[in-house]
Amino acid sequence: MKILKNKYIQNFISVKGDILTFKLIVSEPETRKSYQLELDPSKSTGLIGKKINDEFNGDLVGLEGYTLKITGGTDKDGFAMHPSIIGVVKKRILLAAPPGFHPKIKGQRKRKTVRGNTISEEMVQINTKVVKRGERPLEELIPAKPKEKKEEKKEEVKEEQPKKEAQEKKKAEEVKEEVKKAEKTEEKKGGEEGKKEG
């Protein structure tokens, strides 16, 4: 298995032979949550040829009872699918609104490269949304990824905090001792001055 890294795509793409594995993003509008599912090449072949706004049965990707609608996606080079381009081609078109371009100034237009509205073997990510829910919730059907890295960082932070607290206590004790020493020296000086005057 080879791993390719692309500057346009944050995630790594797994390549098995010549077949790419799709990353299917399933958004649930009711709960406003998204779930990422990595499809096997055998399951991903059923999606090839489908277009944006097509609905398909969730059984195709392992989500029994669900109906999903394709809302977009990106190819292996990071170019977004655009609903106005027919087919699987890449084209440079003049865009004034999403998808593919988000203008920063009112009326701004820009020529950008986008992918057609049909899913092909060159796609990496497919965005979908739930149209019809199944019996079981998505949390049960899609396994959550373990968050080991974040936990390790939290443990390191927890270990550093007691060290910092101990260092702060030592500094505070040292400051208190210095203040006491300074007061004693002032009292001695004040006592000696009183003796001289008397």
State residue 158's pLDDT score. 62
State residue 128's pLDDT score. 92
Convert the pLDDT of each residue in 117-164 to its tens digit. 898 888 889 999 999 888 888 877 887 766 666 556 666 656 667 777
Report residue 57 as tokens.
Answer: 């049965």
Region 100-118 average pLDDT: 89
Strand order through the sheet with 67-75: 33-38, 23-28, 123-132, 67-75, 55-57
Phi, psi for residue 191 in degrees, rounded to 5 = -70, -40
Convert the pLDDT of each residue in 42-68 to its tens digit. 777 888 888 899 998 888 888 888 899
- Against a cut of 0.75, is the pTM above it? no
- Contact (Cβ atoms closer than 8 angstroms) between residue 53 and residue 63: no
Convert the pLDDT of each residue in 1-28 to its tens digit. 344 444 333 343 444 445 557 888 998 8
Report residue 42 as tokens.
Answer: 């055998």
State residue 16's pLDDT score. 46
Question: What CA dihedral angle connects 114, 118, 122 and 126, to 10 degrees?
Answer: 90
State residue 166's pLDDT score. 78
State residue 9's pLDDT score. 39
88 versus 42: which is more confidently predicted? Answer: 88
Region 58-79 average pLDDT: 88
Can you tell me which residue has the tokens 């990496």?
124
